[in-house]
Structure 1
């Protein structure tokens, strides 16, 4: 078993090195060019259609409002990585990593938008009358690659099992360290809470995420702004570090070991790619349920996701770390504690720890709820609606097992399974990009002029 898991790690490390980075960055650039840089040309319009219509119920067919579908998708991207992943990137790549995080987010918008558009185009109604969709549908129906669609679905179904355990363990470990709470108690509580929400179906998930995600984001951003406000004099220097050391090495200082430009690029790209999940193919599964009158309109909500997750929340985390100076004091091995330490400079160790623990707890709860839904949809696609209930129960059991740190050998398959999910999805999106281009052209040729006239009248 040790030899086998070692080979799994070697293959995973190889795939998540240059191959997937080239695929995601190259694919994102190809889509951005093919879509004529729409995310830059029409960003004000996209913001009006998303930030400006958060309370809109949308028009057309669907199960969830556009915003509910978006918050459901955001729930799987907004997690511990936004709070823990950014400091790790800074610790290993220096402040310049944040610049490259922004770059890859702007490029990734093309990928996320394309996934969502295809998710809407190829969605269908299931036996319960709800809209379902995602890569497995556009790979099967759009390209006729049935076997690849089944491989994608099976890999994602298993990946959710491993991911659920990891997420559960992260919150159990955090609460045990902060409050001395037993992991078994945390695991049972989370399992019950997730079970209650999950058995309500996608509508219940949409209602929960619609309330929790905005609240969590607002609380985190407001508390982060308070910390940045207390260190406002350091803000210009923080931005100076980000832009300067994106192109110049930075020397060691205190607990920081120093970093070259290559490290800044590597960790910035990794953080950007992992934080918004552009290319992973999970977002269109949630967005496929949205009430929608045109695929491009829901695609704009995919753009909204990247902006909120990476360009806003991850940037807030970076500024909290850089303005307080904790990145110079805490070494890379303990980088995950940087945000808590930064919060303690203003709120004190006790209150700062509580704020971060609560935010992390809510992030993890919503993440688990949504990824379980993703896993269920794969089971439904592969084996029918009855098996989706069986897999849901297995996922809920995995929450308790993960909280206790059990079956850790399963966790080692996480990156490999994710690679098996990402590669066929991105390749399929690239093959179907002509359809995305046509849908986008249709929107900006026929609907956009009308939207502009309505804006002028108002």
Structure 2
């Protein structure tokens, strides 16, 4: 096991220590400039399309409403990356890692906008089921079946299997800490409940996420804000630690954590990606099935998902950890539970266990859906989808029984592998995204241009 951990850590050192930090940041900066910082210009529009301009349709084999697509995406985004991930980033990279999470998210809003637009642009109907995502725009837009296949296989492994092990691992650890329930018992229950939702298809997934995601978000925000309001002086100190730690980690903590700027950046970007998934190629699968008049509309909605995930949920988690006394030797979900317990007493551990159950379980459902879209792309078969569902349930169960360090490292490695083909596709098809934005801004919807295009094809 130690040799496997060493090998995976070495690969991650290359992927996340050098390559992906520059590629992800560079892609986000490039789209921000190319689209004239659309995350700023369209922020109001993002809120309007998220909450006020959906078509109100219900999910079926042909798609979901815009809001249901967003909640499915947010279900995947808001998971252990916000609770356990924020803790591991602070433990490994110091408080400054949160600053780099914020910066990653800001530029990532431009990236996720592009992903959602392309997912809408190149979606397909496969045996009566509308699906889309990077594999589809890599195949149809870029014209590379190799990159499409590489991405499809990578995301099935990265999220459907390994990623869902991370979610199950955190649920098992949280319930063991709070209620002394054996992780394997938790794993069995979570696997069975997941399977029941999987079998219901798109309508079941949309119904689950559209109800659970708003509830879990409000519950978590209220509990977290109560802690922060009762510790306002410490909140100011925590924010100071974040900004100082981004450029001088030793000064921010008095040398306690021993983190360097490189570690702050590495863990901030890595955990930031794992949290909001911008550029990773996962959430486009949810945005592809939204019923909208123009691809740019869903791009605007996708941006709000990244904003909500990082600037609200992840930020309040980080501030809670930094504003209350905790055991500096802890990491992962144990550190987050310790922080909440310091303010809420024994109820704090229970609160996080319940919150994590909602967060991580909804992520399992979302990531299953992302993987399922790629299984359909690869095999075009309902039988293959059924087999995939059973395998996801098995990995959920196995995830409860592994060490957290190895699970997180494996997640980082496979996430990195799926990012590469997606970024290639985004950069090649950037002109398509820019064109859709221009036509939308020209007449408010771009419907005339699209009708003309379809009539001449």
TM-score (norm 1): 0.89
Instruction: State the 1:40 CA deviation.
Output: 1.3
Q: Is the 8 A contact 1:251 1:257 kept in 2?
A: no
**CA deviation vs aligned residue, 1:143-196 (integer Å, no higher than 9, x gap):** 110121111111222222222233223212221232121233212211111111
Partners of 1:183 and 1:241 lie apart in 2 by 35
Instruction: State the 1:383 CA deviation.
Output: 1.3
- Aligned position for 1:438: 435
- Aligned position for 2:373: 377
Instruction: State the 1:356 CA deviation.
Output: 0.2
1:155–1:232 CA distance, 2 compared to 1 (3 A): same
- Aligned position for 2:153: 154
Instruction: State the 1:239 CA deviation.
Output: 2.6
Q: Is the 8 A contact 1:25 1:107 kept in 2?
A: yes
Partners of 1:189 and 1:335 lie apart in 2 by 22
- Aligned position for 2:451: none
Partners of 1:7 and 1:338 lie apart in 2 by 26
Root-mean-square deviation over aligned CA pairs: 2.8
Q: Which of 324, 348, 353 is matched with 1:357 structurally? A: 353
Instruction: State the 1:5 CA deviation.
Output: 7.3
**CA deviation vs aligned residue, 1:321-354 (integer Å, no higher than 9, x gap):** 2222x3xx422544643332232233212x1111
- Aligned position for 1:222: 222
1:55–1:234 CA distance, 2 compared to 1 (3 A): farther
- Aligned position for 1:238: 238
Q: Which runs of 5+ in 2 are unaligned?
A: 448-457
- Aligned position for 1:271: 271
1:176–1:234 CA distance, 2 compared to 1 (3 A): closer
Matches of residues 3-22 of structure 1 in structure 2 within 5 Å?
Answer: 7-22=7-22
**CA deviation vs aligned residue, 1:378-432 (integer Å, no higher than 9, x gap):** 22111122211111112122222333449x9998754443222110001110100
- Aligned position for 1:454: none
- Aligned position for 1:453: none
- Aligned position for 2:120: 120
Q: Secondary structure at the match of 1:49?
A: helix
Q: Secondary structure at the match of 2:444?
A: helix
1:402–1:237 CA distance, 2 compared to 1 (3 A): closer
- Aligned position for 2:454: none
Partners of 1:449 and 1:290 lie apart in 2 by 17
Partners of 1:384 and 1:138 lie apart in 2 by 17
Q: Is the 8 A contact 1:279 1:422 kept in 2?
A: yes
Determine whether 1:337 maps to 2:310. no
Q: Secondary structure at the match of 1:166?
A: helix
Partners of 1:42 and 1:369 lie apart in 2 by 29
Q: Which runs of 5+ in 1 are unaligned?
A: 451-458
Partners of 1:335 and 1:164 lie apart in 2 by 16
**CA deviation vs aligned residue, 1:40-66 (integer Å, no higher than 9, x gap):** 12222222222445795499x952111
- Aligned position for 1:34: 34
Q: Secondary structure at the match of 2:251?
A: coil
Paired residues, number: 443
Partners of 1:335 and 1:12 lie apart in 2 by 18
Determine whether 1:426 maps to 2:423. yes
Deviates more, 1:306-315 or 1:186-195: 186-195
- Aligned position for 2:391: 394
Deviates more, 1:243-252 or 1:201-210: 243-252
Q: Secondary structure at the match of 2:280?
A: coil
- Aligned position for 2:211: 211
Partners of 2:162 and 2:395 lie apart in 1 by 8
Deviates more, 1:245-254 or 1:381-390: 245-254
- Aligned position for 1:368: 364
1:303–1:224 CA distance, 2 compared to 1 (3 A): same
Partners of 2:58 and 2:389 lie apart in 1 by 30
Q: Is the 8 A contact 2:216 2:359 kept in 1?
A: yes
Partners of 1:353 and 1:2 lie apart in 2 by 30
Q: Is the 8 A contact 1:256 1:330 kept in 2?
A: no
Matches of residues 41-60 of structure 1 in structure 2 within 5 Å?
Answer: 41-53=41-53, 56-57=56-57
Q: Is the 8 A contact 1:91 1:256 kept in 2?
A: no
Partners of 2:87 and 2:173 lie apart in 1 by 18
Partners of 1:345 and 1:410 lie apart in 2 by 27
1:415–1:236 CA distance, 2 compared to 1 (3 A): closer
Partners of 1:330 and 1:255 lie apart in 2 by 16
Instruction: State the 1:70 CA deviation.
Output: 0.8
**After the TM superposition, which segments of 4 or more aligned residues of structure 1 sit over 6 Å from their partners?**
1-5, 408-412
Q: Secondary structure at the match of 1:82?
A: coil
Partners of 2:442 and 2:40 lie apart in 1 by 17
Instruction: State the 1:297 CA deviation.
Output: 0.4
Instruction: State the 1:24 CA deviation.
Output: 0.4
Partners of 2:132 and 2:116 lie apart in 1 by 10
